[in-house]
Amino acid sequence: MTLQSVLDTIDRDLPQATERLLDLLRIPSISTDPAFKGDCDRAADWLVADLAELGFDARKAVTPGHPMVVAHSGTEGPHVLFYGHYDVQPVDPLSLWDRDPFDPQVEETAKGRVIRGRGSSDDKGQLMTFIEACRAWKAVHGTLPGRITIFLEGEEESGSPSLIPFMKENADELRADIALICDTGLFESRTPAIVTMLRGLAKCEVTVHAANKDLHSGMFGGLAINPIRVLTRILGGLHDDTGAVAVPGFYDGVKELPDAMRQQWQALAFDHASFLGDVDLSVPAGEQDRTPLEMIWSRPTAEINGIWGGYTGAGFKTVLPADAHAKISFRLVPGQDPDAVMAAFEAWFTPQLPADCAAEFKDVNGSPAGEMQISHPAFEKARLALSDEWEVPAAYVGCGGSIPIAGYFQTYLGMDAMLIGFGKDDDQIHSPNEKYDLDSFHKGIRSWARILDRLM
Amino acid sequence: MTLQSVLDTIDRDLPQATERLLDLLRIPSISTDPAFKGDCDRAADWLVADLAELGFDARKAVTPGHPMVVAHSGTEGPHVLFYGHYDVQPVDPLSLWDRDPFDPQVEETAKGRVIRGRGSSDDKGQLMTFIEACRAWKAVHGTLPGRITIFLEGEEESGSPSLIPFMKENADELRADIALICDTGLFESRTPAIVTMLRGLAKCEVTVHAANKDLHSGMFGGLAINPIRVLTRILGGLHDDTGAVAVPGFYDGVKELPDAMRQQWQALAFDHASFLGDVDLSVPAGEQDRTPLEMIWSRPTAEINGIWGGYTGAGFKTVLPADAHAKISFRLVPGQDPDAVMAAFEAWFTPQLPADCAAEFKDVNGSPAGEMQISHPAFEKARLALSDEWEVPAAYVGCGGSIPIAGYFQTYLGMDAMLIGFGKDDDQIHSPNEKYDLDSFHKGIRSWARILDRLM
């Protein structure tokens, strides 16, 4: 009954909640560009003031970079930490925007109403879903539920340099029973989802060195080895004919998906034809004996993210370059050790070099995959709450990308994390004309109210 | 006896000849940069004046680009056309020069005296060897030998846009019994050489198209095809395990080297270890059943001259690009048709693409290899003259690069060409600190005097 009152309050207050979000979106808090340092500070102040008005004990915590916002409420009962980030991506190329990215507006579109502006989906709109849920709760109950810590970062779009030091220094203050992270999306823009598997990443830049300078192919062509030829020959064998990664040892430690999860994923009936069709592709390019969802969520991959060498400008230059380069990355799954993967790659690559060539591996680093413990009771409670709101069974899903914050909560605070978000595939985050569906905002707020109701 | 007088005159006049060359080198006739248009004109004027003083009927011929210098002498006897170019390469990076590139000087070095400055070897120093030989001849004989046409270009370093139209329009004026081209080098910096085989060139830029935009490898990695993976896999198979080009039909029409030429090349005892050692290489990378000289002179090759795709800047971006690109060239030998080679490449490349990818071939063009008719009596005469001067048997050699002018003389004027030059491998043409050995200049002048004596 009181949950219904909270939901009713959310419905009634939606126009005001939207205005508050538009207000926050007007602050151009681009964290990667020093010109907007003052704006990042202003966004943090805005949030501290809003949280204080809601009854939180809120503060702006100084870091060597942009400030953190930390707020607490309650002293008893279950303790959740909510994470989001108030910084946004740069907006260039500005010419591709249909409106000023920092003059946000609600727009009518063929697919319904959207909030258009930089940060609307990533991540100001998402973080405000949680804050608005707290506001409605407070309006109905006169108080906030249980114990809530809010932790908002201002450097997520610029590599989070202050995050780990801050978490280490303030571990006792930040530690809760579970972390709630709102920076992900719905499954196929329709089904509410809790991310329980996150792929890790290992990567490096490899250079093949040949002659001590660029050579003219007229003089040397046919006699001197061309490092681009060497690089393409080796990397051309990175995958075998079945689409599997050909590096020996690469799959060491990779586990098969548990049957229960496999069945749940099958039930999702992922429309890979539509997913690929949106980018003019049609054929799943991964391991041929795997389903499309396994390819992006639970199987490791190897990709050449960049390659360059020789003359790449207009016209032609018949050069045999001294060097050729590639940036290689591996998406990792639980059980794979990033260091072992990189060592296996080097051990596979190097013996394939001809006598006159040498390989150099730079910026070799990685982070392991993450796997949430869904046996934690909060997971099932949140899943039921989301299913109620969206009238579709919520799904435990994987995430092909790396979301380091979830791993940091595990590593530095010993805390599991639930990644729940309401973004859609067409939100254009990091791109011109970013938007957040008004429906995502509205039902997102309602979702958090239902989750808080079940958790607290 | 009169030849000896000419040679003595050359020896005696060397200081003055050097001063004249330095004077010409002071004119910064960089043809590719419009800022030096006036200087190109000035270099042409300098040459017209010098040739007129020698008794040539010399003129500066206007073109849409830089002017040609055309000069004639004599009305009877054998008729030779001499070709050189008065324009020079740009000088950047200027910071790597040890002196002002247009304040040339004779320098003492550990390897002997050199003329240092832009254009000293390519090609002002070389073209002046012929003009100085004419000057000494005139001084001794009072007249120039036979019929001589001098044809000097000012656009060689910028693609010779006016050359073919000018040759076509002035074919009757330019046609001679044989062309003499002084823009090549000694064999291994020691042995006088006449180039009789010139490799042709066919080339293109290939793009593999995949998705309709760049994709994030977290979201799509494992499911969406990466065009760099496709490009490296296909190009990685451009050569087979023996170093041969794997494109079916590529070797169609390629002839084996005549036995006589093979024996002569064996006698040259090419020091490939030293040739490759100079650039820190050691292993001949071409077809394993061929000699190093065959690899660079008489066998066709395939090279990837440039490759690019995805993120190539500092740091890392886990992108799956929409496209990947490469610039491919083939050095061709007599018997190969450039159009057929490019068609064979496309026919080999395209069927290897997966369903979701398409290939685009841009800037597809080529020129066939050149092969001089050494049965023309001028070749043996020149070979004997060079052997006399250098006291080493002169060699008929191949040239791995493409020197289009020789082919143009054949195509547009129906005239064979002898490519004879005195450059050395360490002349640093097109690079900072270009030089021409004073010995190359001196013996080059004497070489032309001996060649004129035998030909005329």
* Predicted confidence (pLDDT) per residue in B247-305, tens digit: 999 999 999 998 988 998 998 889 999 999 999 999 999 999 999 999 999 999 999 99
What does the pLDDT read at residue A174?
97
Task: Find, in chain A, the residue whose alpha carbon is nearest to that of B357.
Answer: A281
Report chain A residues whose CB lies below 8 A from the CB of B223. 272, 275-276, 284-286, 292, 295-296
What does the pLDDT read at residue A442?
98
Report chain A residues whose CB lies below 8 A from the CB of B271. none
- What residue ranges do the domains of chain A occupy? 2-197+369-455, 200-254+300-367
**Rounded distance, CA B418 to CA B425, Å?**
20
CB A283 within 8 Å of CB B355: yes
Q: B381 burial class (0-12, 13-18, 19+ CB within 10 angstroms)? A: middle
Q: Closest approach of chain A CAs to the CA of B130, in angstroms?
A: 25
Chain B touched by A55 (CB under 8 Å): no
Q: Which residues, in sequence order, are bridge partners of residue B193?
A: B395
Closest listed residue to residue A71, CA positions, set A93, A100, A50:
A50
Matching CATH topology for B2-197+369-455 and B200-254+300-367?
Answer: no
**Rounded distance, CA A353 to CA A351, Å?**
5
Are A220 and B307 inside 8 Å of each other by CB? no
Q: B266 burial class (0-12, 13-18, 19+ CB within 10 angstroms)? A: exposed
Preferred mutation among B96, B232, B247 to probe A, highest tally of A CBs within 10 A: B232
Question: What integer is the mean pLDDT of B214-230?
Answer: 91
Other Cβ atoms within 10 Å of A45 Cβ, number: 14
CB B447 within 8 Å of CB B422: yes
Percent of chain B with pLDDT over 70: 100
What does the pLDDT read at residue B1?
62
**Rounded distance, CA A65 to CA A385, Å?**
37
Nearest to A301 among B199, B221, B316 (CB): B221
According to DSSP, the β-strands at A370-371 and A193-198 are: antiparallel
**Annotation: CATH topology of B200-254+300-367:** Alpha-Beta Plaits (3.30.70)
CB A227 within 8 Å of CB A392: no
Chain B touched by A327 (CB under 8 Å): yes
Nearest to B223 among A286, A354, A356 (CB): A286
Query: Residues in chain A with pLDDT < 70?
Result: 1
Chain A touched by B249 (CB under 8 Å): no
Chain B touched by A306 (CB under 8 Å): yes
Considering the domain B2-197+369-455 in this protein, what is its CATH number?
3.40.630.10
Question: What are the pLDDT digits (tens) for B337-355?
Answer: 999 999 999 999 999 999 9
Place of tokens 């899943």: A383
- pLDDT surpasses 80 at B401: no
Other Cβ atoms within 10 Å of B343 Cβ, number: 14
Q: How many residues does chain B have?
A: 456
Task: Find, in chain A, the residue whose alpha carbon is nearest to that of B302.
Answer: A222
Amino acid at B207: T
Nearest to A318 among B275, B320, B329 (CB): B329
Chain A touched by B316 (CB under 8 Å): yes
Are B303 and A324 inside 8 Å of each other by CB? no
Question: What are the pLDDT digits (tens) for B190-212?
Answer: 899 999 998 999 999 999 999 99
Q: Closest approach of chain B CAs to the CA of A87, in angstroms?
A: 19
Nearest to B306 among A301, A310, A331 (CB): A310
Chain B touched by A89 (CB under 8 Å): no
According to DSSP, the β-strands at B112-116 and B200-209 are: unpaired
DSSP string across A371-425: E--TTSHHHHHHHHHHHHHHTS--EEEEESS--HHHHHHHHHH---EEEE--B-T
Nearest to B327 among A205, A276, A316 (CB): A316
Chain B touched by A428 (CB under 8 Å): no
Task: Find, in chain B, the residue whose alpha carbon is nearest to that of A402.
Answer: B218
Are B281 and A329 inside 8 Å of each other by CB? no
Are B238 and A232 inside 8 Å of each other by CB? yes
Are B309 and A306 inside 8 Å of each other by CB? yes
Which pair of structure tokens corresponds to residue A28?
A: 């151009």
Are A356 and B292 inside 8 Å of each other by CB? no
Helix (H) or strand (E) segment spanning residue A320 = strand A319-320
Q: Closest approach of chain A CAs to the CA of B387, in angstroms?
A: 24
Which pair of structure tokens corresponds to residue B87?
A: 């324009």
- pLDDT surpasses 80 at B38: yes
Chain B touched by A432 (CB under 8 Å): no
Question: What are the pLDDT digits (tens) for B168-180?
Answer: 999 999 999 999 9
Chain A touched by B314 (CB under 8 Å): no
Q: How far is CA B128 from CA A150, B47, B442, in A?
A: 82, 10, 10
Task: Find, in chain B, the residue whose alpha carbon is nearest to that of A198.
Answer: B218
Tell me: cis bond preceding A339? Omega within 30 of 0 counts. no
ipTM of model: 0.84
Query: Which of B 14-33 lie inside 8 A of A, CB atoms?
Result: none
Report chain A residues whose CB lies below 8 A from the CB of B318. 201, 203, 303, 305, 329, 401
Q: What is the gyration radius of the CA atoms in chain B, in angstroms?
A: 24
Report chain B residues whose CB lies below 8 A from the CB of A423. none
